[in-house]
Every structure is written in C-alpha cells, then in structure tokens.
C-alpha cells in the first residue's frame, strides 16, 4: 500500500488525523491541487471532478492497475474496477459498483471509465468484442435521450441508471440488462434559464441533413420551438452535429434497424411539434369556457408525420371524456387545462420513448437463459439533493439515497465483521447512526409518507396538497425526524425558514425542507384517456406500441399506480439486487459550481461530503482497527526496523512481524494478530511506524554513502599509489643504468690495465720457454683434429627433431662441443625453413609465440584446435581467424553466442542471429588480455579508456580454443602496433563497464576443472564468481 512515502496528503482517509470535517476537506483540497483526484476510504473511492482531461486513463495505466492489488498503487478508479472484476472472475462473487454524487460531479464519466476498464481487461474474441462494443455504445444513445445541459453540468444525466453486465465463467462479457429510474420528464416542456432540453432535440436539428428534416417537418433553427430555450442552443465544448452522427452509428452497432431509427426520430420530432400547438380561449354555446387551437397547421403536420387524424387529436387536446360504469361525459377543457393536457402528453410520449429505447437496448445485449452467469452491476444515480425549493423529485431522490446509505452501513459493517471472524479477532459492536427510522418514516406500507401520499391521491372528495400536509402533521407530530410549522408551533418553536406549505425531514446528511405544492399532481402523473386513445389510433407502429392502454379492447377503469408507488417498488427491487452482490462505492464530488479547472470551493465540497456521509463512512471503517495488512507485505515494509529481521529473515511472516513490533515496544492494545493479517487500531501507531521507517532509511542511506565514499577513496588511493610506484621504478631504473654505465666503463679500464700488466709479466716469465708452448699447441691441435674428424663420421640424422649428439672425449672440449651442437641444430633448422612455404612459416611462428605466452602457465596449452586449422586452410582473405565464442553478460552472468573475427587491424564481435549487429575493436584499442591458469576458455579483452569502444567497457568471453585465439590476437597486435600485448594469467581480474568496475573471481570446482565448463554467478553489484567444473 502506498501509505505516506511520496504521497500527497493522506491517500486513505481512514488514516486521517485528526478525524474532523475540516481536516477531511483540507486533505481533499491538497490532493486536488496536485491533480490527485482520487482518495480512498478503505475500499470506497472518493472522486473529485477535475474538469479537465488527465493523462491517467491510457492503456499503460490499464495494464499497471491490472497487475497490482488494490492498495499497491495510488488511488484510482481503475484499482476499484480491477478489484471488483477480479473478485467476480476469480472468487465467483457477483459485484455492484454504486456511483453517487451531485449533478456535475462526474458520475457518468466514472461509469464510462469503469466499463471501459472492464472491456479492456476481459477476454478477447470476435463475439466477445461484439458484446463489449454493444455495451459501450449504449452510452451515447442513453446520453442523447437522457442527458441535458443544466446550470451545474453541461452533460448532466437526468435519470438514474443501473446496468447489470453479465459474464461467463472465464470473465468474458456475455451481455447485460439496463434499468432506468426517474427520468426528469418535466424538462421536456420547461427548463430553467441557462439550461437546455434533452440533447437529442439539438442533435437532431443540427446534425440531420435537409432531406431528413423535411421528412420530419422540422426547421433547423431551435428558436422556432416553444419547448427549447433559444438562448442556450449551443454549448461550449459540445458538437451536436458530430454527436448526432455518433448516435446513429451507436444505434446501428447495438442492432437498431434503419426503420427503427427513423421511427425514434419521428417520435422525437412529434414531441417538438407538440410544443408549438398554441391553445386559445373559446366559449361554448351555453357560455361555458372552452379552448381551441389557434393555427391548425401544426396539428395537421403532426397528423401527417405519425398518421393521425388531426381532428381527433384536436378533440383529445381540448376536451376530456369521463367514463363510469354507466355513462360517458365529455367535458370541454379550459386553456389552462388544455395546456396541462398537451404538456402531459409530450412528457408521457418522451418518457415512454426513453423506456422503449432502454428495453430495445436490453433486447440486443441480453443473455440467453441457458448460460451460467456472473454479474457486475453499475449504479449511476442522483446524489443527495438540498435545493432552495425542494419538491417531489428531491423527496424521492433523497429517499433513494437514504436506502443506499442504509445498504452502505449494513454491508460495510457486515464485511468488517466477516473479516474479523476470518482472522479470529473478537468483534466489538460498533455504535453508528442507523437511518432505518428515516427510511421507515418514508416507506412504511401503512403509515409512511409515500403511503399517505397515495392514500390522499386515491381518496374521494376534495384533495389538495394542503390536506396531504395536514395528514402528515397529524400522523407524525411526535416523530423525532419530522418537522413542520404546525409541529414547531405545538412545541413553541419559531423558525422563519419554515413555510406554511412545507415539512422537514432530518435525513442522515442533514435537514431538508420540502414544499408540498404539486406533490399530488406529480404523484398522480395522469394522462387523459382521450390522449392515450388518440395516440393508439395513429398509423405509426412505434407510437401505437407506446400507448397500449389506448386500445379499446384493453381499456380499464382501474387507476394506474402512482409515481411514488412505482419508484418505491423500483427502489425495493434495486435494494434487493444490491444486497445480493458485493458492493463497491464511488463517491463523486464537484469542486466548484462553475466547472472551472483547479478551483476548489471548500464550502461546496463540505456540503457534498456531508450529503455523501463521508465522515460517517470513515468512522464506521475506523470503528475497530483502522489499518490491516497481510503479514508478508507488512514484514517486507517494516523488517528493517528490527536487527532480528534485517537484513535477512528466514522465519515465518507472522513471527517476523511479532519480532519487529516487539522490539519497538508497541502497546498490545494497539495491535491484534489475525490468522493472515496484522491489525493496528490507531492511525497514530501507523504514523509512528512510518516515521521510524523514514529515520531508519536515512541511517541506511548514510551507511551506504559512507561505504561508497570509502571505496571510492581507497580506489583512488590505490590508483595514485600504483602510478607513483611506476614513476619511481622508472626513475630508479634510469638512475641505476647511468650509474652502472659509469661503473662498467671504469671496470673495463681497470681490467685493461691489469690484463696488460699481467701479460707483460707472463711474457717476461716465459720469454725463454717457447718450446713448451709449441709442443702444447701441437698436442692440442692434434686432439682437436682427431675430435673433429671423429665427429664428422658420427653426425646424427638431419631431422630437426633428432636431438642426439656425440659427447666430447675431453672435458676441455665441452664448450666447443655444445657450440658445435648448437650450430649444427641451427643449420638443420635453416635447411628445414628453406624448404617451408610462407604459410607454414607463419604457423610455426604462431606456435612459438603460444609457447612463449602459455607454456607452463595455462593447463589447456597442450590441446589443439582442428577447427582452427580448417578455418586457416580455407581463409585467403583479410580474416586471420574466425571463432565462435560465448559472451558473458556482466550484469547477470548469462552467456550468449557470438562470432569473433580477427583481421589485421580489428577484432570484430558479431551476433550469430543478426550479423549486422557487430562491434569492431581496433587492435590499437586493446590494453591487455587476462586469462586463468585453469583448463577453461574464459578470457577478458581489456580496452583502453580513450577509445570510443572502450567507453562501453571490457569484453568477457569464453572460447573452446583460447590458446590459438589469443596467440593470433597477440601476433596481430604486434604486427599492427609494433607493441607487445600484455597477457596476464591470473584467477582474479577486473572488468570495466559504464557502471563501474566488476571483479571476476575464477575458482576450480569440486570436479577438478577437467571438463572446462563454466558456471557464472553474480554476487552483489560488483563481483562475478566463475566456477570451472
């Protein structure tokens, strides 16, 4: 886990100290300013919208987070998606990812990132790729019909979405199911200033060609439609034309036919044109107010577009038929009522079209019933909302978030309790705020607010929002989480912010005041039966399908379920679905109201953190032990704090962790040892461990630096000492040579005088004895003549290998006899050389050179290289020798095959597989050769540092015919540079590289080194041990 080292702030808020709202917001701001938009709360991900593209979502990051576990890298949405996918694939546990937050917080983008990551890491194949493409292409379709520009967000999802992605046993996607919640259909007929209608209308008007617009009876100018805000037809950074083409392409990929796409666009055009139907006041004959259509051309175009009788449509818009079991009563509608009917029809058409699109996508991506499936759900839904004027929509949204908070608390505590049980640690009951009382206040089947709302809608008699509020005041007057003006007055409380038509609920995220105006109408969500029947009579297949209740054969007097009841049923189903899966949470936060990059509004973020219950999440997660980690990972990080476990530990992981914490004298109350994990209660304890680790790392760094500096100084001193010795030896040698020359000249002069004196003395002594000298000379010459004549008749054979020679008959002839033997041998050698060809002469010179270099020094000297003889015999060009060698990698001791070519000027080393990749070493760059005394082929070519090749370092090679090869190199160097190449026979030598010097130590193995095979093993970063087998 990346804890504190190198991180910005605290990456996991469970470790936050002190645990307060201010410190939490300050930590989020610090990370946001450093473009760290993700933070953990245990396994919950908090995401702050950066409002700018960040380079953290490419394939490199996908691969990185796929190969690591959740806490091993920085917080990222890919880490959470990877954990969920791996748990689904490997542990066979169904997953769900809950994405919540305000509009503009980045929920839609988060769901896209999760889906794109899963698509990138799951299996491949034609069918799998097709399924992945359909799942991904569902986003543009749902965004076009379900997203809109709001004041807070240019691409705000105006509906809740839950997608179940289904996988096979291998983890490859098979398909999915999408469920939508609470589409904001009121946006179809009315938008706030600065907002837009749904994207599809602007994409259609901008991106459709002239022929399509003519067929749909539309004009390109958005200002000509009452349902569209003309001032906000364009949005910065959004290309409606390109998005329309993307929409058409996506629908084709999903499986929509051309006819289906055309019908969908016709229904969208119908909604636009309904807004231009202008209603005016009229009066019936009896003076009763009625309504009519100002210009019938718009209704006529609608009839032509969808195959509908314009007269019937006008009648359905301007009148209402009330049908009982006995009679039918037709009532004319006033202008206000007719406008309500027109708007209700437009909202219902669009809402049913959106539901049909979701069902149509589900048909394309659904999975066959016979396959065993694993499921990953992704929930993208509204976050908790507190507006200035909160109505029915905010009420049901906050109800849904109360249920989601209940799921989070229960599932988190359950997960904590299961982990404690697995690890054998006693579970202590956690005190937390249970919002079940709030959920019960809203959803109780008989005495809940939704039940009361439905009861009021169905009750006969005069029904209004005021009667509904009065019933709530009567029923919940003593409820601790319900307030209204009436209950406050009863308790003698004064609150000027509470209106007479309002009630307040104390939600988990704070108090929210709701205005009951329009609660009854929005819950009823009625569409007059006349309009349903008129739509069913259209000759448009899709429009008829959207209004099945308009069929007279299926007509029913039964009242349809209310909007609140439908939403409650959907939430119940959703909660049941979530409880059956392992939850994963993404809490999205928007940093400012103006979508500005780099701007962080602490007040706004604080409010969202309160709505999302972040502080409560941290408290629940920290209720037991704030931090836990597997023994192996913990020991690997902190083992340097104990002398018993550093630098090496051979015992078990748990035993090592106990040693470390024991030597640090940690309090037993702060620790708990599970079966596989260590649990730490307080973040302060963890921070203490991190501080000790930081100090220990500084000590180790100092030790390493000290050792390195010492080595560097010793190396420098040894080089200086070696240089001084060389200089001194040369100086002393030169001085002694001069002194010796003077002494020799003096000695010769003295000897000459002495010999002259003795000669003169002897001459005077034997001046009269000349006869004896003549006789002795005659006898000596006779003996010499007889010796020489006898030697002539007893000469050995002329073979140069025959070293026999007659012994001297007299001791005085020994010196002459040896000299004659030498002269005779030289004569035989000359005769032999005169008979040799130049090539044979060169071979003999190489053998002589090899003898001088290696005889008596290298164990493998006696071996010969028949392959070399063959290569020599066939080489007539400039290549002096070709040999296959093994190059030893200085980094890891591994060998690789190379070809070594020796020419008159270079040593060329080339790759056996790629002859083009070669290294040419000039013979003038060779500084020396090192070779061992064992029967192996290891040798090193030392290069001078001033050469371009030498900068790369020395070469460490292995040859089966090292004697012949080095002899050739020695001779070639001598011929090329007129200098002798130093050849060193040793068992330890240094090899230079760009990273520094590497010491090579060669030792003889247990077998005595008879085979000559080598085994290389790297010891540390500066030593390579070689064993001769």
Q: Mutual orientation of helices 449-458 and 465-475 as an angle, nearest 10°?
A: 140
Q: Which of 39, 47, 156, 229 is catalytic?
A: 156
Contact 621, 412 (CB under 8 A): yes
Q: Which residues pair with 331 in a beta bridge?
A: 320
Which residues, including other chains, have CB under 8 Å from residue 491's CB and lie 6 or more apart? Answer: none
* 499 among known catalytic residues: no
Catalytic pick among 260, 312, 385, 670 = 385
Nearest to 678 by CA among 668, 664, 688: 668
Per the listing, tokens 């000492």 go with: 721
- What 8-state DSSP symbol labels residue 186? G
Residue with tokens 């026999």: 804
Catalytic residue status for 157: yes
Question: Phi-psi bin for 827: left (phi > 0), alpha (psi -120 to 50), beta?
Answer: alpha
Q: Which residues contact 445 (CB under 8 A, 6 or more apart)?
A: 451
- Distances 553 to 534, 548, 821 between C-alpha atoms, Å: 14, 10, 138
Q: How many CA atoms lie within 13 A of 898 on its CB side?
A: 23
Catalytic residue among 383, 624, 893, 1012: 383
The C-alpha atoms of residue 73 and residue 85 are separated, in whole angstroms, by: 17
* Active-site annotation holder among 108, 351, 930, 940: 108
Identify whether 383 is a catalytic site residue: yes
* Nearest Cα residue to 337 out of 300, 288, 303: 288
Note if 769 is an active site residue: no
Q: CA 589 to CA 606: how far, in whole Å? A: 10
Tokens of 504: 């307040």
Pairing of strands 510-515, 502-507: antiparallel
Establish whether 153 is a catalytic residue: yes
DSSP for residue 559 = P
For residue 346, how many C-alpha atoms fall within 13 Å in the half-sphere facing its CB?
25
CA distance 529 to 366: 34
Give the pairing type, strands 906-911 and 895-903.
Answer: antiparallel
Q: What length does the chain have?
A: 1029
Q: What string of DSSP letters covers 415-453?
A: HHHHHHHHHT----PPP---THHHHHHHH-TTTSHHHHH
Residues near 482 by Cβ (< 8 Å), separated by ≥ 6?
441, 472, 476, 503, 504, 505, 506
Residue with tokens 């890298």: 73
One of 39, 49, 111, 153 is an active-site residue; which one? 153
* Active-site choice (43, 82, 100, 103): 103
Q: Which helix (H) or strand (E) holds 918?
A: strand 918-922
Of the listed 9, 42, 101, 104, which one is catalytic?
Answer: 104
Which of 47, 139, 147, 157 is catalytic? The answer is: 157
Q: Is 385 a catalytic residue?
A: yes
Asked about 461 being catalytic, the answer comes back as: no
Please state, in angstroms and as integers, the Cα–Cα distance from residue 235 to each residue in 148, 459, 1027, following that order. Answer: 10, 46, 74
Q: Is 156 a catalytic residue?
A: yes
Sheet-wide strand order for 482-484: 482-484, 502-507, 510-515
DSSP reduced 3-state for 219: coil
Residue 686 tokens read as 């963890």
| Residues identified as active-site | 103-104, 108, 153, 156-157, 383, 385
């Amino acid at each position: 886990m990346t804890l504190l080292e190198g991180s910005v702030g605290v990456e996991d808020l469970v470790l936050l100290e002190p645990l307060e709202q201010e410190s939490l917001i300050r930590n989020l701001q610090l990370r946001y300013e450093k473009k760290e938009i993700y933070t953990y709360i245990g396994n919950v991900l908090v995401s702050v919208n950066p409002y700018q593209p960040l380079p953290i979502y490419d394939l490199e990051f996908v691969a990185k987070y796929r190969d690591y576990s959740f806490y091993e890298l920085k917080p990222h949405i890919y880490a959470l998606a990877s954990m969920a996918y791996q748990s689904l694939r490997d542990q066979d546990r169904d997953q769900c990812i809950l994405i919540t937050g305000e509009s503009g917080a980045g929920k839609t983008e988060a769901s896209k990132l999760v889906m794109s990551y899963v698509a990138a890491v799951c299996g491949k194949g034609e069918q799998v790729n097709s399924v992945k493409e359909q799942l991904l292409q569902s986003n543009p379709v749902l965004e076009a019909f379900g997203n809109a520009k709001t004041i807070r967000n240019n691409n705000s999802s105006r509906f809740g979405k839950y997608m179940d992605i289904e996988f096979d046993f291998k983890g490859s996607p098979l398909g999915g199911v999408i469920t939508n919640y609470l589409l904001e259909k009121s946006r179809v007929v009315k938008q706030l200033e600065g907002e837009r209608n749904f994207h599809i209308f602007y994409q259609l008007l901008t991106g459709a060609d002239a022929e399509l617009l003519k067929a749909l009876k539309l004009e390109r100018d958005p200002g000509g439609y009452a349902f569209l805000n003309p001032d906000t037809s364009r949005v910065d950074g959004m290309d409606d034309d390109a998005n329309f083409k993307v929409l058409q392409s996506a629908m084709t990929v999903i499986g929509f036919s051309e006819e289906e796409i055309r019908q969908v666009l016709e229904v969208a055009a119908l909604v636009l044109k309904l807004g231009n139907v202008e209603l005016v006041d009229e009066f019936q004959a009896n003076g009763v107010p009625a309504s009519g259509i100002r210009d019938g051309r718009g209704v006529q175009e609608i009839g032509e577009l969808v195959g509908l009788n314009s007269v019937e449509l006008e009648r359905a818009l301007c009148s209402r038929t009330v049908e009982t079991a006995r009679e039918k009563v037709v009532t004319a509608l006033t202008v206000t009522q007719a406008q309500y009917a027109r708007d209700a029809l437009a909202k219902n058409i669009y809402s049913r079209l959106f539901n049909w699109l979701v069902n149509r996508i589900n048909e394309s991506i659904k999975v066959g019933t016979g396959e065993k499936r694993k499921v990953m759900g992704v929930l993208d839904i509204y976050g908790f909302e507190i507006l200035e004027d909160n109505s029915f929509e905010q009420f049901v949204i906050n109800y849904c978030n109360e249920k989601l908070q209940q799921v989070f608390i229960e599932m988190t505590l359950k997960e904590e309790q299961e982990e404690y049980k697995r690890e054998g640690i006693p579970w202590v009951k956690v005190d937390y705020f249970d919002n079940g009382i709030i959920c019960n206040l809203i959803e109780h089947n008989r005495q809940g607010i939704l039940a009361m709302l439905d009861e009021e809608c169905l009750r006969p008699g005069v029904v209004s929002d005021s009667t509904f509020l009065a019933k709530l005041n009567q029923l919940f007057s003593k409820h601790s989480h319900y307030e209204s003006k009436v209950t406050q007055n009863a308790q003698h409380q004064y609150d000027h912010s509470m209106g007479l038509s309002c009630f307040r609920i104390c939600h988990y995220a704070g108090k929210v005041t709701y205005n009951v105006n329009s609660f009854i109408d929005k819950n009823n969500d009625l569409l007059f039966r006349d309009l349903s029947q008129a739509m069913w009579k259209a000759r448009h297949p899709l429009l008829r399908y959207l209004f099945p209740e308009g069929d007279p054969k299926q007509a029913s007097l039964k009242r349809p379920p209310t909007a609140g009841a439908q939403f409650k049923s959907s939430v119940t189903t959703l909660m049941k679905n979530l409880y059956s899966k392992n939850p994963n949470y993404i809490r999205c936060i928007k940093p400012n109201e103006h979508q500005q990059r780099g701007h962080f509004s602490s007040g706004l973020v604080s409010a969202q953190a309160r709505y999302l219950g972040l502080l409560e999440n941290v408290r629940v997660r920290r209720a037991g032990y704030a931090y836990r980690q597997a023994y192996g990972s913990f020991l690997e990080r902190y083992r340097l704090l104990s002398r018993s476990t550093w630098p090496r530990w051979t015992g078990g992981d748990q035993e090592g962790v106990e040693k470390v914490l024991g030597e640090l004298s940690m309090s037993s109350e702060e620790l708990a040892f599970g079966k596989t994990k260590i649990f730490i209660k307080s973040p302060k304890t963890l921070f203490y461990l991190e501080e000790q680790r930081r100090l220990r790392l500084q000590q180790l760094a100092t030790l390493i630096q000290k050792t390195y500096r010492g080595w560097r100084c010793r190396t420098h001193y040894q080089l200086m000492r070696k240089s001084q010795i060389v200089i001194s030896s040369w100086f002393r040698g030169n001085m002694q040579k001069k002194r010796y020359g003077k002494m020799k000249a003096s000695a010769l002069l003295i000897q000459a005088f002495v010999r002259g004196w003795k000669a003169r003395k002897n001459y005077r002594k034997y001046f009269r004895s000349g006869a004896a000298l003549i006789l002795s000379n005659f006898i000596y010459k006779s003996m010499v003549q007889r010796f020489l004549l006898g030697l002539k008749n007893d000469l050995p054979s002329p073979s140069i290998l025959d070293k026999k020679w007659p012994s001297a008959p007299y001791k005085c002839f020994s010196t002459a006899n040896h000299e004659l033997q030498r002269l005779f041998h030289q004569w035989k050698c000359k005769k032999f050389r005169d008979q040799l060809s130049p090539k044979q002469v060169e071979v003999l010179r190489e053998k002589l050179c090899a003898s001088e270099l290696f005889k008596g020094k290298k164990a493998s000297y006696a071996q010969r290289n028949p392959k070399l003889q063959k290569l020599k015999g066939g080489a007539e060009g400039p290549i002096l020798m070709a040999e296959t060698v093994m190059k030893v990698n200085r980094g890891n001791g591994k060998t690789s095959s190379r070809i070594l070519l020796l020419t008159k000027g270079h040593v060329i080393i080339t790759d056996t597989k790629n002859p083009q990749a070669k290294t040419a070493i000039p013979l003038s760059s060779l500084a020396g050769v090192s070779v061992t005394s064992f029967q192996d082929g290891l040798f090193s070519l030392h290069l001078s540092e001033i050469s371009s090749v030498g900068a790369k370092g020395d070469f460490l090679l292995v040859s089966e015919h090292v004697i012949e090869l080095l002899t050739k190199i020695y001779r070639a160097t001598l011929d090329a540079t007129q200098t002798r190449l130093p050849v060193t026979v040793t068992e330890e030598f240094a090899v230079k590289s760009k990273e520094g010097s590497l010491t090579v130590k060669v030792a003889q193995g247990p077998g005595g080194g008879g085979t000559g095979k080598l085994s290389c093993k790297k010891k540390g970063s500066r030593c390579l041990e070689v064993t001769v087998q």
